Amino acid sequence: MSILIKNGRIIYGENLDIINGDIYIEGNRIAKVGRGLKLSAEYVIDANGKVISPGFINAHTHSPMVLLRGLADDLPLMEWLQEYVWPVEKKLTSKHIYWGALLGILEMIKGGTTTFVDMYFHMEEVAKVVEKTGIRAYLSYGMVDLGDEEKRNVEIKETLKLLEFIKKLDSPRIEFLFGPHAPYTCSPELLKWVREKANETGKMITIHLNETKREVQDIKEKYGMTPVEFLDELGFLGDDIIAAHGVWLSDKEIEILAKRRVTIVHNPASNMKLASGVMPIEKLLKAGVNIALGTDGAASNNSLDMLEEMKLAALVHKVHTLNPTVADAKTIYKMATQNGAKALHLNAGIIKEGALADIAIIDFNKPHLRPITNVVSHLVYSASGNDVETVIIDGEIIMLDGEVLTVDEEEIINKVQKIVDKLH
């Protein structure tokens, strides 16, 4: 398929330059960017008054957790997980996960997300939904063994099953990654197995890391080291690690993360809602750590809106440090786009010739986005997912003028309501 997007304001290249012009897409790549392109295409989109942005990369979520949205608000992490979330998750079947993933992915596409990194269970169902909807995804089975060998073997089996399933799907948009849940739920034996298997297969790893003060204390008591030191001792860390949260980090841990080229995923809404704390963004940036952005699951956010997440990321550090220059709009915007792509070693998150055609077109013909003075600032501080109009993923139009073309939105909303009504 070829697509010509005409007369838009393009957020171009690594430096986010604004160019008024056209984009020509051929197959799944951006072929040309320029003014007044005289090229014929199978599909032409008029982007007058609109902004053409790289699609957003949600680098940490649990897509089916939309089923638990609003279930347990206003609680700290451990109580939230142990007393509310895990008991409900025990009841979830593959059918629940299929419909939950449909709702979660529908929400993400509507908000301009073109790629997401997921960790949950019954992930074969999520893979089916990714295939159907047209989004790009990196999927992991969330492994928890709590030091129990029998449980470890079950988790290993489930992980290898997902790896095989995704291999057989042979989709250019679906990748597998390993998903040990966290150092406090996974034994050293399991973490070592993950590292070895990741080396053998070349697949990446995602994990929750240093999310709460309590977690750091527990790991120190158990292993006599901080979580990052512990993982480094195991030989676990590398540039294939996508670690969610990184809230409670010592200077030494930041140094290790930088040295090992680990990506940290910032999840400001979840960290604020669960009162986990504030990520040390200035120190991480200064050390050169790659920081991507994620929403976490919808039970701790409570939405999957990357535009909203950017605003929260930009604001929380200003109030926390009492310094308005911290976390400026461009820095945050890069976290939601090119830094996520860097973490995934993916040629996306950027508009330039040769990059994957993963694009969000945002309608700026709205009062809250006028006058157009600073496009990136408006996206970070004024826009929300509702302003996204058209989404292209892997060179295919997935949403056009607000309508997702690959699924029936009304059917998904009604079905999810029915299955959740029965669940509680």
Among 118, 145, 296, 389, binds ligand LTUXU72L (CB under 6 A): 296
Residues 125 to 184 in contact with ligand LTUXU72L, rule: CB under 6 A: 142, 144, 181
Q: Which does 85 bind (CB under 5 to 8 A by kind): ligand LTUXU72L, Zn ion, none?
A: ligand LTUXU72L
348 binds ligand LTUXU72L (CB under 6 A): no
Q: Nearer to Zn ion by C-beta: 3 or 299? A: 299
User: What is the nearest approach in angstroms of ligand LTUXU72L to the Cβ of residue 28?
Assistant: 30
Rounded Cα distance between 38 and 41, Å, is: 10
The item of ligand LTUXU72L, Zn ion, none sharing an interface with residue 362, based on CB under 5 to 8 Å by kind, is none
Quick one: 62 or 378, whose CB is closer to ligand LTUXU72L? 62
Q: Would you give the binding string for ligand LTUXU72L spanning residues 258-277, x where CB under 6 A is met?
A: ------------x-------
DSSP bridge pairs for 143: 180
**Residue 387 interacting entry, from ligand LTUXU72L, Zn ion, none, C-beta within 5 to 8 Å by type:** none
Is 208 annotated in a binding site? The answer is yes
Q: How far is the CB of 180 from Zn ion (least distance, A)?
A: 12
89 binds ligand LTUXU72L (CB under 6 A): yes
- Please answer whether residues 241 and 207 qualify as being in contact, where contact means their C-beta atoms are separated by less than 8 angstroms: yes
| Residue 424 known to bind ligand | no
Q: Which stretch in 46-54, 116-124, 255-263, 325-333 sits in contact with ligand LTUXU72L by CB under 6 A?
A: 116-124
116 lies in the binding site for ligand LTUXU72L (CB under 6 A):
no
Three-state secondary structure string covering 246-286: CCCCCHHHHHHHHHHCCEEEECHHHHHHCCCCCCCHHHHHH
Give the nearer residue to Zn ion in terms of CB position, either 21 or 180.
180
Residues that bind Zn ion (CB under 5 A): 296
Q: Per CB under 6 A, does 358 bind ligand LTUXU72L?
A: no
To the nearest whole angstrom, how small is the minimum distance from the Cβ of residue 322 to ligand LTUXU72L?
A: 27
Q: How far is the CB of 223 from Zn ion (least distance, A)?
A: 22
Residues of the shown chain interacting with ligand LTUXU72L in the complex, contacts defined by CB under 6 A: 62, 77, 81, 85, 89, 119-121, 142, 144, 181, 208, 211, 270, 296-297, 300
List binding-site positions for substrate: 89, 181, 211, 296
